[in-house]
Amino acid sequence: MQMIQRSGLVVWCAGLLIAAGHVAAAGDGVSEERWAEEVRVAAMIDAALAKQWEADHITPAPPADDGEFLRRASLDLIGRIPSVMQAREFLAETSPDKRHECIDRLLEDPRCALHFTNVWRKVLIPEAGSDANLRYLIPSFDTWLRAKLLDNTSYRTMVREILDVDVSGANPYAFTATTPVAFYTTKEIKPENLAAATSRMFLGVRLECAQCHNHPFDHWTRKDFWGYAAFYASLERQQPGPGSFLASIREFLGQRKVRIPDTEDYVEPTFLGGEALPRSSAVRPRQAVSDWITSDGNPYFARMAVNRMWAHLFGVGIVDPVDDISEHNHPSHPELLDSLAGEFRAHNYDLHFLMRSMAFSNAYQLTSRETDPSQSYPQRFAKMSLKGLTAEQVYDSLAEATGRFEPFTVQNPYVFNQQPQRMRFDELFGDESTLAVDRPTTILQSLALMNGEFVAQATHVDQSQTLAGILDFPGFDTGNRVDAVFLATLTREPTGPEREKFVAYVESGGPRMDQRLALSDVFWVLLNSTEFLYNH
């Protein structure tokens, strides 16, 4: 048993060194000019928020400590907590720019693309996650999306490729396919579904409220809705042939109008705002609306992307709900939203630029602890909001904390995505219909963490690489071991009272009179803590 544990220690330490070496080598591709631009935009964010705080007599929270910041940034940007080695190195670093350098390394880490593949897929084709009959669409869509994110492709380019993808003969079910055609398949190729989805996802306009009647709260009319839907009238879902269950898509380029249901009125493709696509135009309607949505002159496109990314990093959008930018749902900081949208356009819709600028800000680096009652309103951004972890973040953070080996490659992450334990976590923690700051923990989720097979195995002294490494590390006393368990789970060292209590428990051996088992009890307690299950 001793030999097995020492072998586990070697594997565990080697994994930490490889990960640390990869991260340390990354992040060198940002020029000094770009760095200065991002720092400038971060200062703009801080100035806008400070102006609002002063006007509203708000006292902002103090900065997060290094451990809190590292854990937050890691969860936000690569979807998992940092390793013990990464935490130790960051906490020991004395460079005044270490937080900026940390953001750079995380954005250059390939796991960033894997994480945001999950994030953007849930935005773009949420139906595939909630409908078991559509889950086979995920691999081909993810393959395409992951490649774009690894290259840091311009957000505008990605959206244009989605909206104007060649649907002829495309097979979104093929695991080797690289295509976003699943976006159309999940919307059932219906003009009304595509109109509702594209306006809401890319423009922040809830146009679907005008599908059956004029919008009750906004100026959109039923004619506006169906005029916009007419851009997708050329698409038709073909029924599968004998022996096949896969439907294909056909595009009839001559079809340019739709009938408003329950009326005799036909409408032709019309942009939001009232300008119709000229009948003489040689541009395909679907291409025309793609060009319009992603144009620099569109007042909605950049603002919507900025608001969504802000909500991802801060827990709540400048406009909330994030996809409802309307005359009756005003931004908390309208000038800031417009300024960030302008910067996003000016920097070619670069998502990394946008994320760096936001994460470089002092506002992103505030603690989540409320130190003054004036900080309680989330949209003042005077402290960081608590964010419930997604299914993927929970699973990957548990794997990171326990030293569980997760075989995967950037090219084929489905090697591990189809593992039963991961799929079980996705079922239990996958309901993300509510905002991150409002996402509750259910009884089934709690039971899975307390009594589930995954956590039971991962915290067993004979199966956890992390525990094996901590228990067998030369020179570690009980206090060092408790410190290491805290770093592995919560990315911080215990407070004085915590350390005293847990050291005493471990040295007593717990109810089984075994110090090794007692340390695994401490490990289990921390993994089941509320602090572990939230990004803060």
Q: What is the mean pLDDT of residues 506-516?
A: 94
299-336 burial code (b ≥16 CB/10 A, e <16): ebbbbbbbbbbbbbbbbbbbbbebbbbbeeeebbbeeb
193 and 76 in a common domain: no
H or E, element range at 118: helix 110-124
Q: Are both 74 and 165 inside the same structural domain?
A: no
- Which residues contact residue 497 at a Cβ distance below 8 angstroms, ignoring those fewer than 6 apart? none
> Is residue 513 domain-resident?
yes
Residues 164 and 263 grouped into a single domain: yes
- Alpha-carbon span 321 to 299, nearest angstrom: 18
pLDDT of 426: 67
Residue 108 to residue 111: CA distance in whole angstroms: 8
H-run or E-run covering 267: strand 266-267
Cα separation, 493 vs 483, whole angstroms: 5
pLDDT tens digits, 266-300: 999 999 988 999 988 888 899 999 999 999 999 89
Domain that holds residue 217: 123-203+206-293
- For residue 19, pLDDT beyond 60: no
Considering only CA atoms, which of 408, 516, 393 is closest in space to residue 462?
516
> Span 319-328, mean pLDDT?
91
Tell me if 14 is assigned to some domain: no
Give the tens place of pLDDT for each residue, 45-97.
Answer: 999 999 999 999 999 999 999 999 999 999 999 999 999 999 999 999 999 99
Q: What is the pLDDT of residue 420?
A: 61
Q: Is the pLDDT of residue 13 over 80?
A: no
- What per-residue string of b and e applies to 407-431 under the rule 16 or more CB within 10 Å gives b? eeeeeebeebbebebbebbbebbbe
Q: Is the pLDDT of residue 427 over 80?
A: no
496 and 394 within one domain: yes
Co-location of 84 and 199 in the same domain: no
| Average pLDDT of the chain to the nearest whole number | 84
Say which residue, 390 or 153, is predicted with more confidence.
Answer: 153
pLDDT reported for residue 385: 96
pLDDT of res. 436: 47
Q: Is 388 helix (H, G, I), strand (E, B) or coil?
A: strand
Q: How many helices (H) and strands (E) does the chain have?
A: 25, 6
Question: 70 and 135: one domain?
Answer: no
355: which residues sit within 8 A by CB, 6+ positions away?
77, 103, 107, 309, 313
User: In angstroms, rounded to a whole number, what is the distance separating the alpha carbons of residues 519 and 516?
Assistant: 5
Which of 64-78, 427-441, 511-525 bottoms out in mean pLDDT, i.e. has the lowest? Answer: 427-441
Among 293, 312, 340, give the residue marking a domain's end. 293
The rounded distance, in Å, linking the Cα atoms of 398 and 451 is 14
412 and 522 fall within a common domain:
yes
Residue 243 clears pLDDT 60, i.e. is over it: no
Q: Is residue 417 part of a domain?
A: yes
The answer to whether residues 137 and 283 belong to one domain is: yes
Question: Highest mean pLDDT: which of 30-39, 215-224, 252-261?
Answer: 30-39
Mean pLDDT of 477-488: 96
Question: How crowded is residue 120: how many other Cβ atoms within 10 Å of its Cβ?
Answer: 21
Residue 303 lies in a domain: no
Please report the pLDDT score of residue 448 as a whole number.
Answer: 58
The DSSP string of 284-309 is -HHHHHHHHHTSTT-TTHHHHHHHHH
More confidently predicted of 420 and 102: 102
Examine the domain organization and report whether 277 and 131 are in the same domain.
yes
| The domain boundary residue, chosen from 293, 320, 346 | 293
* Residue ranges with strand state E in 308-347: none
Q: Are strands 387-388 and 266-267 parallel, antiparallel or unpaired?
A: unpaired
First to last CA, the chain: 39
Pick from 348, 337, 336, 304: which is nearest to 323 by CA? 304
Give the integer Cα–Cα distance in Å for 308 and 355: 11
Give the model's confidence band at 7: pLDDT under 50 very low, under 70 low, under 90 confident, else very high: very low
* Residue 182 counted as domain residue: yes
Does residue 403 share a domain with residue 281?
no
Angle of CA points 428, 431, 436, to nearest 5°: 115
Decide if 522 contacts 503 (C-beta within 8 A): no
Q: Show which of 293, 326, 344 is a domain's final residue.
A: 293
Q: 306 lies in a domain?
A: no
In this prediction, residue 456 carries a pLDDT of 66
Q: Is the pTM of this model over 0.85?
A: yes
Locate 501 and state its tokens.
């209590």
Phi, psi (rounded to 5 degrees) for 446: -60, -40
- Lowest-pLDDT range, 68-82, 455-469, 502-516? 455-469
Q: Are 316 and 435 in contact (CB under 8 A)?
A: yes
Give the rounded percent of residues in the chain with a pLDDT score beyond 90: 59
**Residue range 162-208, pLDDT digits in tens:** 999 988 766 666 555 688 999 999 998 899 999 999 999 999 999 88
Residue partners of 290: CB distance under 8 A and separation at least 6: 159, 160, 163, 164
Number of domains, the chain = 2
Percent residues over pLDDT 70 in the chain: 78
Report which of residues 216 and 447 the model is more confident about: 216
Q: Are 304 and 310 in contact (CB under 8 A)?
A: no
* CA–CA dist 319, 168 (Å, integer): 38
> What integer is the mean pLDDT of 377-405?
90
C-alpha dist (Å) from residue 441 to 172, 479, 527:
34, 32, 14
Residue with more model confidence, 199 or 30: 199
pLDDT band at 235 (very low <50, low <70, confident <90, very high): confident
Decide if 140 is inside a domain: yes
324 within domain boundaries: no
Q: What tokens does 280 get?
A: 């003489």
Q: Do 455 and 501 fall within a single domain?
A: yes
Same domain, 80 and 154: no
Q: Which residues contact 495 (CB under 8 A, 6 or more apart)?
A: none
pLDDT for the residue numbered 482: 97
321 preceded by a cis bond (ω within 30 of 0)? yes
Cβ neighbourhood burial of 232 (10 Å; 0-12, 13-18, 19+):
buried
